[in-house]
Amino acid sequence: MTETISVELRGSTAPITPLQRAAFWLTGLTGWRRHLAAFLFGALAAVSLPPLDVTPVLLISFPALIWLTDGNTGFRSAFFLGWNFGFGFFIAGLYWIAAALFVDIGQFWWLVPFAVMGFPAVLGIFTGLALLANYATCRWLVLGGTPRILSFVLFWATAEWLRGHVLTGFPWNLVGYAWSGAFPGALAMLQTVSLVGIYGLSLITVMAATLPARLGDFSGRRWLAVIAAAVLIAIPSAWGTYRLSQGHPADVAGVTLRLVQPSIPETLKNDPAQTLANFRRLFALSTSPGGDKVSAILWPEDAAPPFLERDGSARTALADAVPADGYIIAGTARTDALPAAPTHVWNSLAAIDHAGVLRATYDKFHLVPFGEYVPLREILPMQKITPGSIDFSVGPGPRTITLPGLPAFSPLICYEVIFPDAVTDPLHRPAWLLNITNDAWYGITSGPFQHLAIARTRAVEEGLPLARAANNGISAMFDPYGRVTARLDLDAVGVLDVALPEALAAPLYTRLGDTSFLIALLLIVAGLILQRRITGALSHRV
């Protein structure tokens, strides 16, 4: 049965559709029901991300947010609506961070509420400010219909970019990562990041997900917005499909990498009684059949003994596993060189040759707050979560490492792979990316799957193959199009002997960085201002 609505209420007596009914209902919600709805739709949006990869839920959550936004009654109402949506999104997407605390729950139990709820609450400020700015803009420019949606997209995308840069940044679970997982056809859409980066793909995704909110309106050419949304997905996907069909990079001649995944539980990694057993497991995996034929053996983050620059016996022990003319490249801790006293510690990567010579080191420069150092240590009386009483020091930045017999590579330790446009030295483009990590902190949660998908995205952005050695997984080799050429699943113990695909010429994103994304934001701003001037001119004539 159809219903009608009065002219006084909506200006039309046409039958209303289920979507119009839903929009009308959500717009009219008040009080706790309104904010609970925002929270639940935010949590639903997180289902689009790995490992669930249900990308189409964005077509539910974002139109619902627009309809809730239509019911804003003031600046406070707009901010807290956005905050609740973000709070739900980040709780559902980042709950796994608290798992790291359970490694030493006796010491860090009091941090669990802060990890589960406090951190999402802080990140929710970004989405709250986005909706606050959107509300102010829609009031100022008197925006309705499609322009109000474009205003929302503008500020959502801006908030994501700011989240990735403010206070060292945390660009995890950007909406564009909905295309980084296993949803059918997602890899074709992911190719877009080679042009506009992950922030640009997020903008496109949010716009395509939000435009169908026009189907809940009662006026205007509502279907044009839906067609535009379909085009926003169809054209990049078609181009991505073509790009994948044409891209079959050859392998680098004579180069084979061995990715070692020991899957040592975090509770055992730093247990002195287990140190020898842990090393023997890594050694046995490294020297298993075929190990003498590889160019480099890649160990995860924090896998090698610490302070190799001071410990000749440890380097000699490692050298016994190194193939002739090859290397072990492993995560370790580094301190000040002799004869200086060890007053600094770096989370590092070291390359050891078959003679036990330390051929190269790299120090992590994007450190994890509270995990590797304590911000405002003078004020906060606590220890970092990782073992040791000294905070890790910051390395100098992205670096390209060149070793004889091995193509030049850019090392990325754990968290560093999440930062777009900050994974290579722009003056010395490498031939591949190496991401070593230890995700054992997070157990069997969404975290390791999300981390893997983010690493995959960097490969496509940079047009570079990416090798990933993870303690408990997920270890993998990606070609420069983001295709998986080899993979070891979470908690598997084993090795992968993989060929190294050749790099592509630098994609547009590598050359421009986030410039193309910022241009897109400016185009939306210009469009909104132009629309307002046209509307104002027409109103003046009437």
Residues belonging to the active site: 301, 364, 414
- Cα–chain-centroid distance for residue 55? 16
Backbone dihedral angles phi then psi of residue 111, each to the nearest 5 degrees: -85, -10
Q: Which amino acid is at 459?
A: A
Most distant CA pair in the chain: distance in Å?
Answer: 87
DSSP string, 10-46: HS--SPPPHHHHHHHHHHT--HHHHHHHHHHHHHHHH
Q: Are 349 and 331 contacting, i.e. CB atoms less than 8 angstroms apart?
A: yes
- Residue 261: CB atoms within 10 A of its CB come to 28
Burial class for 76, CB neighbours closer than 10 Å (0-12, 13-18, 19+)? exposed
Q: Which residues of 216-237 are buried (b: 16+ CB within 10 A; e: fewer)?
A: bbbeeebeebbeebeebbeebb
Q: Are 226 and 211 contacting, i.e. CB atoms less than 8 angstroms apart?
A: yes
Secondary structure (3-state) at 336: coil
Contacts of 387 (CB under 8 A, 6+ apart): 270
User: 432-437 and 466-470 as β-strands: parallel, antiparallel, unpaired?
Assistant: parallel
Contacts of 107 (CB under 8 A, 6+ apart): 383
